[in-house]
Amino acid sequence: MCGIVGYVGARSAQDVVIDGLRRMEYRGYDSAGIALVHDGRLASRKRAGKLGNLEKAISEEPLPASELGLGHTRWATHGAPNDVNAHPHLGATGRVALVHNGIIENFADLRARLEADDHVLISETDSEVAAHLLELQVESGVDLTVAMQRVCQQLEGAFTLVAIDAQDPDRVVAARRNSPLVVGIGEGENFLGSDVAAFIEHTREALELGQDQVVTITRDGVSVTAFDGSPAEGRRFHVDWDLSAAEKDGHDWFMRKEIFEQPRAVADSLLGRRTRSGQLQLDEMRLSDQELRDIDKIIIIAAGTSFYAGMVAKYAIEHWCRIPVEVELSSEFRYRDPILDYSTLVVAISQSGETADTLQAIRHARTQRSKVLAICNTNGSTIPRESDAVIYTHAGPEIGVASTKGFLTQLIACYLLALYLAQVKGTRYGDEITQVMEQLEAMPAHIETVLAGSEAIYDLAREHVGTRSFLFLGRHAGYPVALEGALKLKELAYLHAEGFAAGELKHGPIALVEDGLPVLCVVPPEGRDQLHDKMISGIQEVRARGARTICLAEEGDTSIEPYADVLIRLPRVPVLLQPLVAVVPLQLFACELASAMGHDVDQPRNLAKSVTVE
């Protein structure tokens, strides 16, 4: 997730772009860059780090005046967050500048073809190939709009591209597939942005682009085509949000926005993971197949929500790969003198990549000669830097302190790791792996279905203002979901909330149950290992003692109906993948209840987004 701005009009393009980037910085701040057209040439500056570094660079070496330009603030995916990988990227002769948000899945093939034709690509990004391809097109004599249409037809994946041509001082061209882009419509000027916050200060008239469209903005107009050049139309709308709502895409809290971004975050985290022949590929795996085959034990270390993702991973890895997995809180790990050697793979899960407990744990593991694989959302952070291999999630920056899309994308990375190990070790047939990948690829639509029911969950949450205590029950992969649901409620609503494995309740915690106590139950899908029926027994036990049961159960499960005071339906998915849909109502519930109680949902008391002390 990156922020993009484009402008053409009568104002200083530098001012419009820099102001727009300031409002896009929440989308990523690994680097920032700008390019302007002046006198038939491009002028560009880019710097790693926050926008302030770019502004400093411009103050030291000012840019020429210009009324046309583009800018980018980066959330790194391919390539470290440094100056070279910062956008804009230029074509081979420096005629075209381009910025990109998304992932170009076939960039390796395209790059190899360009390099075979003597192109020198200086960055590690997938984006630079698009700049070179675009420049080849304009050099062949077509205008930037046609060039963009032709290039987009060669690209696979998700992308928003915005480009300018030094020899065309009146046109900014952009394209979108599966990544956001809106046009701001002004008088004698037009704007482009990843969202309306980029230009809301100048205009509230906007145009939303459809899939696979190319848009050209000039001072006097906006024209839209499909990738094949046929005429197309965007959807006009008026923005009535204020600036702070605009940054949150109309939501009241970043957390709520991030919950609703989950279908996209999950889809992005799955992009580019399969080769044309259907084999799984993990770009930064960096451990050889032999090293992976030698692994006889996996220890997953993580904290908080990431720890619960690790618990789900244990079920998936053991089931698909038959490798024993331990899951350990990173703060406890090194103090128990764990048994580690070169055949142990330590998997460190961390959204931020900076959690001190997890960092110290991986340092310890490496001193014992174990290989460390990080699952991380933050490119270039310390944990992946100090690990032997990485699987990056592509959630984009998570700003709400309570992790939501971070968790779902960690689950995706865990499933990918499990399937990859199964592929390398041969514990699952190729068609079984393909089947699970297809089930994963269907998840964004299932998550959308759950989100479409958010109003009913909000009503339920508001009914519980004043309730002091909650229990959450789950079994199997639903047990970590119960723990995560309870954690969300604790950290946001400051209420007593505990998650239990449903079968464990009768060994003590059932004494907590009293009349009216809300118990949220994650019901496994019907039909495997009696899990479902055993869960119903647990639900009956708490109902018999007066609990009010709020059951999350799959569509079509009628046997749960007599035992549920409230029933929240989930899409039908396999039991191992159910956490991806089951946790979403719990996130919505906690967010709404905390909001209704008047709490600061994005910055709950006593917490920090990244805990960098042990």
By beta-carbon proximity to ligand M6R, the closer residue of 146 and 395 is 395
- Which residues, listed in sequence order, are joined to residue 215 by a DSSP beta bridge? 174, 224
Comparing CB distances to ligand M6R, the nearer of 407 and 563 is 407
Q: What is the nearest approach in angstroms of ligand M6R to the Cβ of residue 539?
A: 27
Tokens describing residue 420 = 């990859």
303 binds ligand M6R (CB under 6 A): yes
401 binding ligand M6R? (CB under 6 A)? yes
User: What is the rounded distance in angstroms from the CA atom of residue 207 to the CA atom of residue 49?
Assistant: 31
Count of residues near ligand M6R by CB under 6 A: 16
- Token pair belonging to 31: 């680097």
Using CB under 6 A, which residues numbered 403 to 432 contact ligand M6R? Answer: 403
Does 595 bind ligand M6R (CB under 6 A)? Our answer is no
Taking the complex as a whole, the smallest distance from the CB of residue 486 to ligand M6R amounts, in Å, to 11
Nearest CA to 593 out of 497, 462, 495 is that of: 462
Nearer to ligand M6R, 355 or 370 (CB): 355
CA distance 540 to 520: 13
- Binding flag, residue 184, ligand M6R (CB under 6 A): no
In whole angstroms, how far apart are CA 572 and each of 379, 457, 554?
A: 34, 19, 5
Question: Mask of contacts with ligand M6R, 341-380, x by CB under 6 A?
Answer: ---------xxx--x--x----------------------
x/- map, 207-246, ligand M6R, by CB under 6 A: ----------------------------------------
Tokens 């062949």, residue located: 140
610 binds ligand M6R (CB under 6 A): yes
Q: Which is nearer to ligand M6R, 302 or 419 (CB)?
A: 302
Q: Which is nearer to ligand M6R, 98 or 303 (CB)?
A: 303
SS3 328: strand
Stretch that binds ligand M6R, among 16-24, 186-194, 399-407, 500-508 (CB under 6 A): 399-407
Which of 255, 402, 424, 564 binds ligand M6R (CB under 6 A)? It is 402
* Beta-strand pair 235-238/205-208: antiparallel
Nearer to ligand M6R among residue 108 and residue 611 (C-beta)? 611
Q: Which of 168, 268, 491, 526 binds ligand M6R (CB under 6 A)?
A: 491
Strands 344-350 and 297-302 come out as parallel
Q: Among 44, 203, 306, 578, which residue interacts with ligand M6R (rule: CB under 6 A)?
A: 306
325 makes contact with ligand M6R (CB under 6 A): no
Q: What is the DSSP letter of 47?
A: E
Shortest distance (Å) from residue 160 CB to ligand M6R: 27
The window from 30-38, 319-327, 432-440, 604-612 that contacts ligand M6R (CB under 6 A) reads 604-612
Query: What is the distance between the alpha carbons of residues 15 and 62, in angstroms, rounded to a whole number?
Result: 12
DSSP 8-state symbol, 435 = H
SS3 state at 501: strand
Residue pair 103/394 in contact (Cβ under 8 Å)? The answer is yes
Rule CB under 6 A: choose which of 304, 444, 480, 585 binds ligand M6R.
304
With CB under 6 A as the contact rule, which of the stretches 166-174, 175-183, 333-341, 395-403 interacts with ligand M6R? 395-403
Q: How far is the CB of 585 from ligand M6R (least distance, A)?
A: 16
CA distance 17 to 198: 8
The Cα 270–Cα 62 span in angstroms is 41
Shorter beta-carbon distance to ligand M6R: residue 76 or 144: 76
Which residues are catalytically annotated?
Answer: 2, 609
CA angle 374, 378, 381 (to 5 degrees): 75
Q: Which amino acid is at 427?
A: T
CB of 485 to ligand M6R, least distance (A): 11
Q: In what order do the strands lie in the sheet with 190-193?
A: 41-48, 31-38, 68-74, 3-8, 190-193, 182-185, 205-208, 235-238
Our CB check for ligand M6R shows the closer of 190 and 355 to be 355
Phi-psi region of 270 (alpha: psi -120 to 50; beta: other; left: phi over 0): alpha
Nearer to ligand M6R, 402 or 560 (CB): 402
Give the span between the Cα atoms of 229 and 536, in whole angstroms: 57
Yes or no: say if 535 and 521 are a contact pair by the CB < 8 Å rule. yes
Nearer CB in complex with ligand M6R: 66/352: 352
d(CA 519, CA 513): 9
For the bound state, the minimum distance from the C-beta of residue 541 to ligand M6R, rounded and expressed in Å, comes to: 29
Q: How far is the CB of 348 from ligand M6R (least distance, A)?
A: 8
Q: How far is the CB of 349 from ligand M6R (least distance, A)?
A: 7
Residue facing ligand M6R at closest CB distance: 304
CA dihedral 558, 582, 297, 284 (to 10 degrees): 140
Applying CB under 6 A, which of residues 108, 222, 224, 611 lies at the interface with ligand M6R?
611
Which amino acid, 212? Answer: D
As given in the structure block, the two tokens for residue 218 are: 């000039």
- DSSP-derived secondary structure letter, 91: -
Shortest gap between Cβ of 611 and ligand M6R (angstroms)? 5
The residue ranges that bind ligand M6R (CB under 6 A) are 303-306, 350-352, 355, 358, 401-403, 491, 607, 610-611
